[in-house]
Amino acid sequence: MKRQHASAAQRTTRSRVTPQHDDAVDRLFTAGGVTLHIDISTLIEHQWTGIPTVAAGLASAFLARMPARIRFFLGTSLVETQIVADALRRNTGLFLERELSSGRALAGPLPILMRQAASGPTIGLFPSVKPVRRAFDIECNVVHDLSTLVLPYFHIKGNVDHHMAGMMADIASSDLVVTVSAASRDDLGAYLGVQAARMVVAPNGAAWPEGFAVAAANMLTPHGAEPYLLILGTREPRKNVMLVFDMLERAPDLLASHRIVFAGKMGWLEEQHALPRALEPARASGRLVFTGFVRDDVKYRLLAGAEATLYPSLFEGFGLPVLESLSAGTPCVASWSSSIPEVGGAVCSYFDPLSAGDMLRATREILARRREEGEALRQRCRAHAARFTWAAAADIILQRLAPLVEARL
């Protein structure tokens, strides 16, 4: 059983990365004795969605590409690489947290706290908020979106405080700021005046264990399965699910022909996206389904089996559910807000996120395309999504770090 698990884990790791990088960077890092330290504070959550998913994707890609040069850390302590690698294979921080609590995962202080200097330049990569600053020779942090800055009323106070507490200092102390989309990069420029030269856009990836597609293909029952539309994502006001409700109230025929499935954990400010009374009967009869959080394998099956996914978000730094949908071969009807068109490209159908009528138009359009184009549309979705990989994101970051490393050698 243990051997089977390891084998699946290896396949997972392989599928997350694509060898498409410039070896010169690897040689530079090896020759210079560079170590890339990755902050794992976002990986301690049990259920990885959003930022933890991005942190895990990047960590897996860096680890696969240059394992000898990678260290993980939490606060001011190094963390055992094998234990983090195990968490990445399991796709949860559950056991990582246990190992950290017991102290077994800790592997000594950060190089800056040790008497002996590191053998070469140290780089700190922070996938989100920086728990420590100026602890590495070169620092690099990822900014996912500025929604807590620009749209604080979509968040609870704790969220805003968490992200705003150190944002300015994080950016000021970083040599390189990574954004996951051009939209987020432009936000940093427009609101905080961060110079473009200090930023790099490294779009997120989407990767599934190879077995998921096989399992999904075997489990789906095309004859007899009821068609459904899927809305994937944490439920919070910014995700704008009220627009879906508005659309369904306008189009009872859509609710009759398709079940509507909401998958994702409940977020915050629930009163702002509560189900309207008029749709309660649909929930009671099972036409509207709220699954709550779903595991990755279930998520993949839901994505692969949907007629289309709907993504009405008002503001995104990236829009990972759009990419996940396309990577599963399922077309997405998405709002044209913020970064979403960067992710969805030409394969998505877009709508105005304040117009239920426009959303209905785009939904009918994509359903018609599915009927007309069939498998060809699914293939185009997958082909588009294949451009986004964690390996490519890691490579973009390494390419921009290389000159900073050279300057310190």
Partner 1 sequence: MEALRAWQNASSVVLSCPGPMRRHTAALLPVGDAVLPQVFLGGESQLLAFAAAAPELAGRLFFAALPEMFSSPASLPDAWKTLGQKEHAAGPVVHLRFGSIRDARMLKFARNAVVVAETQSAAPLTASHHPFASGHTLPAATKRVFVYGRETIRPKLIGGAEIPATKLPAACITADLAASSFADGSSGFAPSSRGESAGLELVSLADFRSGLWAAGVVPARRSRRGSGAPETTEHGTTVLVPWNLAHFGSIVPDLLERLASLRRPGDRMPRIVLMPFNYLGQTGMIRRLIASLRQAAPDPDVMLSDTFLARVSALSGLPALRRLSRLAWVDGNDPEHWWTTARLNAAGFTAVLIDPSPDAIPGPTTQVADDTILVENDTRYGALSFEVRLPSRRTLPNLLALTAPGRRPRRQAP
CB neighbours of 202 closer than 8 A, spacing ≥ 6? 142, 178, 179, 180, 392, 393, 394, 396, 397
Decide whether 8 or 149 has the Cβ nearer to partner 1: 149
Using CB under 8 A as the binding criterion, the count of chain residues that bind partner 1 stands at 42
- Among the listed residues 119, 191, 227, 281, the single contact to partner 1 using CB under 8 A: 191
Q: Which is nearer to partner 1, 196 or 376 (CB)?
A: 196
Q: Of 42-50, 115-123, 159-167, 379-387, which segment contacts partner 1 by CB under 8 A?
A: 159-167
Question: Which residue in the block uniquely carries the two structure tokens 């030269």?
Answer: 197
CA dist 270 and 267 (Å) reads 7
Only segment of 56-64, 119-127, 186-194, 205-213 that touches partner 1 (CB under 8 A):
186-194
Taking CB under 8 A as the criterion, the residue among 290, 355, 369, 396 binding partner 1 is 355
Q: Which is nearer to partner 1, 290 or 336 (CB)?
A: 336
Beta bridge partners of 176: 140
Q: Tell me which residues in 219-248 interact with partner 1 (CB under 8 A).
A: 242
Nearer to partner 1, 161 or 210 (CB): 161
CB of 388 to partner 1, least distance (A): 17
**In the window 330-349, what residues touch partner 1 (CB under 8 A)?**
336-339, 341-342
The residue within the footprint of partner 1, chosen from 109, 281, 357, 403 (CB under 8 A), is 357
- Residue among 118 and 242 whose Cβ is closer to partner 1: 242
Inter-helix orientation angle 390-406/23-31, to 10°: 50
DSSP 307: S
376 binds partner 1 (CB under 8 A): no
- Do residues 101 and 132 make contact, with C-beta atoms less than 8 angstroms apart? no
Cα separation of the two ends of the chain? 47
What are the φ and ψ backbone dihedral angles of 293, each rounded to 5 degrees? -65, 140
CB atoms within 10 A of CB 407: 10
363 binds partner 1 (CB under 8 A): no
Q: Which of 44, 106, 112, 192 binds partner 1 (CB under 8 A)?
A: 192
What is the rounded distance in angstroms from the CA atom of residue 177 to the CA atom of residue 170?
9
Smallest separation (angstroms) from partner 1 to the CB of 344: 12
Residue 186 interacts with partner 1 (CB under 8 A): yes or no: yes
Chosen residue from 85, 167, 320, 398 binding partner 1 by CB under 8 A: 167
Closer by beta carbon to partner 1, 106 or else 242: 242
Nearer to partner 1, 167 or 304 (CB): 167
- List the interface residues with partner 1, window 85-114 (CB under 8 A): none
Alpha-carbon distances, residue 144 vs 141, 230, 235 (angstroms): 10, 24, 18
- Among 268, 209, 269, residue whose Cα is nearest residue 15: 209
Is the Cα dihedral 358, 313, 347, 299 positive or negative? negative
Does 314 help bind partner 1 (rule: CB under 8 A)?
yes
Name the one residue in this structure whose structure tokens are 């190094």. 78
Query: 193, exposed or middle or buried, with CB in 10 Å at 0-12, 13-18, 19+?
Result: exposed
6, 94, 113, 168: which one binds partner 1 (CB under 8 A) = 168
The residue (of 160 and 404) whose beta carbon lies closer to partner 1 is 160
Q: Which of 103, 193, 222, 286 binds partner 1 (CB under 8 A)?
A: 193
**Exposure on the CB side of residue 289, measured as CA atoms within 13 A:** 17
Distances, alpha carbon 76 to alpha carbons 7, 55, 105, 130, 370, in Å? 33, 18, 13, 11, 52
Q: How many residues does the chain have?
A: 409
Smaller CB separation from partner 1, 137 or 246:
246
Q: Which of residues 267-306 bind partner 1 (CB under 8 A)?
A: 271-272
Q: E strand or H helix at 241, and its extent?
A: helix 241-250
Q: How many CB atoms lie within 10 A of CB 167?
A: 19
Where along the sequence are the contacts to partner 1 (CB under 8 A)? 149-153, 155, 157, 160-161, 164-168, 182-183, 186-187, 189-193, 242, 271-272, 314-315, 336-339, 341-342, 350-355, 357-358
